[in-house]
Structure 1
Amino acid sequence: MEVSFEVLAILFFVAGAAGFIDAMAGGGGLLTLPALLAAGVPPTQALATNKLQSSFGSFSASLYFVRRGIVNLKEMRLAILCTFIGAAIGAELVQQFDASLLTSLIPLLLVGISLYFLFARQTKADSGKRPLSESAFAFSVGSCVGFYDGFFGPGTGSIFTVCFVVLGHFSLVDATARTKILNFTSNIAALLFFVIAGLPIWKLGLVMACGQFFGARLGAKVVITKGQKWIRPLVILMSMLMATKLLWQQHSQWFMSLFG
């Protein structure tokens, strides 16, 4: 696929903005996937290429959090394993089943997440007893959300974050850092299946990956320095935008007839 330098430059900067947003709140795909489709990439290849470039962004943010000591990978080994297996199963099964039920339900979940962060108290680390042990969290949340990311995907970062806050009693900063580790894990698991199928467009994906890497690094830095001041409103905003986008895709004709 031949793409002009101008289009490559636009995709680079779009990916950079998406990586910045993704590192803090998720939802960067709202920018990158439409940009790939607008560049003339077929839908299936756009999904695969989007997963390729987003993997670099989640890796960049994860590496930053690990190096700053926010996340201990040894403590997350089981969650990483469960997330990888769940995402691999989801990426395989999505080729066999219709995802329309998830398409209908996930906007409601995203609205719920945004309302939770809008009205809940400021989240701080809680050393008290957690509702789920680390192993139970890994098997339930890691496996299920990983499966969802491999099978469908929108809002994965927001779902992981709210699970870490509610079930893990982590602060929003710690929850965001752990979210990126598991997000990277599920991205890689799903990407492997796309690569095996020969779907990613490497030239586009790698150009966007460079933008993602730098944007995500900057976003991860803002998470540590600005904390809840930036993360909380961004999670609310991105969750509502994702919900609106999905609802429009599902019911655009109904909305147009209602207001037309």
Structure 2
Amino acid sequence: MVYIEGLTVEQLISLSAVSFFAGVLNAISGGGGMILIPSMMVCGVPPINAITVNKFQNALGSLAAIRHYFQHGLFEKKGRNRTTLLLVSFFSLMGAISLDFASSKALLSTVIPYVLIFVSLYSVMPQKWFEKYTKRTVSTFKKNAVWSFMGAYGGAVSIGTGPLMIAAHRILNVSSVRSAIAETKPMMLVINITSLLLLALLGHLWWKLGLVLAFGNMLGAWFGARITTGRYLVIAKWVVFILPLVIAVRMLLEG
């Protein structure tokens, strides 16, 4: 029996469970869309609709995680740069426009797997070792260029944006895993909301499915945020290491 957007109740239950785990991953390391988007596609949801629904439920889940991080004082005032947020917003909009007109399959199958392998290896580098060999100042221009690229990528491809942004934050700011996870959440939220608004206006958002999955994602984000800020932070570090490797291997095998 069909219930929502042509999906059966069994498929909705399965996708809700996947959404919960995606929320946990997004709160810890990002990359939850890598398990949710393919799951929706397996259930018959078109790719662009799956990406848009993922942005919708991920945005709501990010709000739950941000609230928890803010209450625990994990945001640094100097990390919230309005110019950076505006750039991320603008380029995520450009990415969403490109998603509506063209396929990013070639980009995903060639460049991204190797970038994700770098992300995973970098995530386990000891912070003291990193500080020893990177005592240099990165210009504001270079930082904004990196975040602009992240905005465009997140607005279009979306998959794997979280781990990439965490790695970029650590490289640009010599920050810890805990700080990078928390500080990139507002940018991820801006990327998802900006690109989501355009894709929704173009009719790609399946509202009913998005609301169902958002509930599971918010629960997962609530749980994942408590893992990140608790004594089990080491779990977050290993997720940031393992998840990109799994994504990269999958892409290379499918390519």
Q: TM-score, normalised by structure 2?
A: 0.87
Deviations along 1:47-80, one digit per CA (max 9) or x if unpaired, are 2212211221222212221232211467332222
Q: 2:9 maps to what in 1?
A: 5
Is residue 102 of structure 1 aligned with residue 107 of structure 2? yes
Q: 2:82 maps to what in 1?
A: 77
Match of 2:19 among 11, 15, 18: 15
Match of 1:188 among 187, 193, 200: 193
Equivalent-residue separation in structure 2 for 1:92 and 1:240 (angstroms): 29
Is residue 169 of structure 1 aligned with residue 161 of structure 2? no
Equivalent-residue separation in structure 1 for 2:183 and 2:107 (angstroms): 24
Equivalent positions of 1:94-243 (< 5 A) are 94-103=99-108, 104-118=110-124, 120-122=125-127, 131-133=137-139, 135-136=140-141, 139-226=144-231, 228-243=233-248
Deviations along 1:163-208, one digit per CA (max 9) or x if unpaired, are 1111101111000101222111111111112101111111111110
CA, structure 1 residues 31+98, in 2 after alignment: closer, same or farther (shift >3 Å)? closer
Equivalent-residue separation in structure 2 for 1:165 and 1:147 (angstroms): 20
CA, structure 1 residues 177+38, in 2 after alignment: closer, same or farther (shift >3 Å)? same
Equivalent-residue separation in structure 1 for 2:39 and 2:217 (angstroms): 14
CA, structure 1 residues 163+232, in 2 after alignment: closer, same or farther (shift >3 Å)? same
Root-mean-square deviation (CA), in Å? 2.4
Equivalent-residue separation in structure 2 for 1:176 and 1:225 (angstroms): 13
Letter in 1 for 2:180: A
Match of 1:57 among 49, 56, 61: 61
Letter in 1 for 2:236: I
Equivalent-residue separation in structure 2 for 1:3 and 1:72 (angstroms): 43
Residue 19 of structure 1 contacts residue 219 of structure 1 at CA under 8 Å; is this kept in 2? yes
1:129 CA drift (Å): 6.5
* Structure 1 SS opposite 2:73: coil
1:230 CA drift (Å): 1.5
1:97 CA drift (Å): 4.4
Equivalent-residue separation in structure 1 for 2:246 and 2:183 (angstroms): 23
1:100 CA drift (Å): 4.3
CA, structure 1 residues 144+115, in 2 after alignment: closer, same or farther (shift >3 Å)? same
Equivalent-residue separation in structure 2 for 1:130 and 1:66 (angstroms): 29
Q: TM-score, normalised by structure 1?
A: 0.86
Equivalent-residue separation in structure 2 for 1:209 and 1:178 (angstroms): 22
CA, structure 1 residues 15+98, in 2 after alignment: closer, same or farther (shift >3 Å)? closer
1:210 CA drift (Å): 0.7
* Structure 2 SS opposite 1:94: helix
Residue 33 of structure 2 contacts residue 160 of structure 2 at CA under 8 Å; is this kept in 1? no
* Structure 2 SS opposite 1:153: coil
Equivalent-residue separation in structure 2 for 1:164 and 1:217 (angstroms): 23
Unaligned runs of 5+ in 1: 251-260
Residue 57 of structure 1 contacts residue 216 of structure 1 at CA under 8 Å; is this kept in 2? yes
1:224 CA drift (Å): 1.0
Between the two proteins, the alignment pairs up a number of residues equal to: 247
Equivalent-residue separation in structure 1 for 2:201 and 2:69 (angstroms): 30
